[in-house]
């Protein structure tokens, strides 16, 4: 009798344990997989297109931080572009407008800026800035990964900053950009040197200067001039090959 009681008690304990495991599995499945939340990137570049997508506000803040200004030198960059009032510029990979707003001021109210990005949330942040600043000479354009969706022959200058290494088919993308240039228009590419720097994407995501120039040649572009004041990046100005 005592042996039978122990057997019944043991079976009851096994059933209770099985029910507990089943309830745990059901609750875990209902809650979905548990992933650690990564901390937001404080660099304008990380191993993803837009850093940590779960914290867009922090990433936008990092994109526009004074720390970035110190090495990206945005005002000096825009001054070096030599834009004239009334011209049309394009900012590829505009994000929330770090360069877009400066380009808009450079071309003035009679000029125009296309702000191109593939991330709708970035363009929404840009629209909010445009509303706040009452700027009416910028058109945010939601593009696709392999096409900026720019009109042909529309731009005096196309600026690509820290973005070229994200293009899926780089030479083909450059050819599309060239198609959107006005006569004597220019394409400017600023991107990280393929060597360790305090900020920027991993080395295997970077495109070396020589590689870029080779791909640009394949797209019908040639080097017109070059600036050397940026500490971590090359600054190349291209024109269509005649």
Looking at per-residue pLDDT, the higher value among 158 and 56 belongs to: 158
Collapse the DSSP code of 221 into the 3-class scheme (helix H, G, I; strand E, B; otherwise coil) and give the result: strand
Of 8-17, 114-123, 171-180, the poorest mean pLDDT is in: 8-17
Same domain, 232 and 184: yes
For position 133, what pLDDT does the model report? 95
- CA dist 97 and 140 (Å) reads 10
Tell me, yes or no, whether 53 lies in a domain.
no
What pLDDT band is residue 150 in, cutting at 50, 70 and 90?
Answer: very high
Domain that holds residue 209: 73-240
Q: Cα(67)–Cα(72) distance, rounded to whole angstroms?
A: 9
By CB atoms closer than 10 A (0-12, 13-18, 19+), residue 9 is exposed
Q: What's the pLDDT tens digit per position in 176-212?
A: 999 999 999 999 999 999 999 999 999 999 999 999 9
- Domain membership of residue 62 (yes or no) is no
Higher pLDDT among residues 51 and 117, named by residue: 117
Residue 51 lies in a domain: no
Residue 54 pLDDT: 57
Evaluated on CA atoms 144, 147, 150, 156, the torsion sign reads: positive
> Do 26 and 77 lie in a common domain?
no
107 with 195, same domain: the answer is yes
Distance CA 174, CA 18 (A): 61
C-alpha to C-alpha distances, 10 to 7, 14, 20, 108, 222, nearest whole angstrom: 5, 6, 15, 83, 82
Is there a domain that residue 66 lies in? no
Q: What angle do CA 32, 34, 35 make, to 5 degrees?
A: 130
Mean pLDDT along residues 76-93: 98
pLDDT in tens, 22-75: 333 333 334 343 333 322 333 344 434 444 455 677 877 788 788 899 999 999
- Give the Cα separation of 40 and 188 in Å (integer): 29
Tell me the average pLDDT across 139-167: 96
């Amino acid at each position: 009798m005592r042996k039978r009681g122990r057997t019944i008690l043991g079976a009851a304990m096994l059933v209770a344990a099985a029910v507990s495991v089943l309830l745990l599995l059901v609750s875990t499945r209902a809650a979905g997989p548990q992933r650690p939340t990564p901390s937001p990137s404080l660099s304008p570049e990380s191993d993803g297109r837009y850093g940590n997508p779960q914290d867009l506000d922090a990433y936008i803040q990092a994109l526009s931080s004074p720390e970035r200004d110190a090495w990206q030198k945005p005002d000096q960059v825009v001054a070096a572009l030599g834009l004239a009032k009334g011209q049309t510029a394009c900012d590829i990979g505009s994000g929330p407008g770090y360069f877009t707003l400066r380009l808009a001021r450079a071309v003035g109210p009679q000029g125009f800026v296309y702000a191109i990005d593939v991330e709708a949330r970035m363009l929404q942040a840009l629209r909010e800035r445009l509303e706040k600043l009452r700027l009416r000479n910028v058109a945010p354009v939601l593009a696709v990964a392999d096409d900026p969706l720019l009109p042909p022959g529309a731009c005096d200058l196309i600026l690509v900053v820290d973005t070229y290494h994200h293009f899926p088919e780089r030479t083909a993308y450059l050819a599309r950009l060239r198609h959107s240039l006005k006569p004597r228009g220019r394409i400017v590419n600023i991107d990280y040197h393929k060597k360790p720097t305090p900020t920027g994407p991993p080395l295997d995501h970077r495109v070396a200067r020589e590689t870029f120039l080779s791909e640009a040649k394949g797209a019908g572009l040639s080097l017109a001039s070059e600036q050397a004041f940026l500490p971590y990046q090359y600054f190349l100005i291209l024109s269509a090959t005649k």
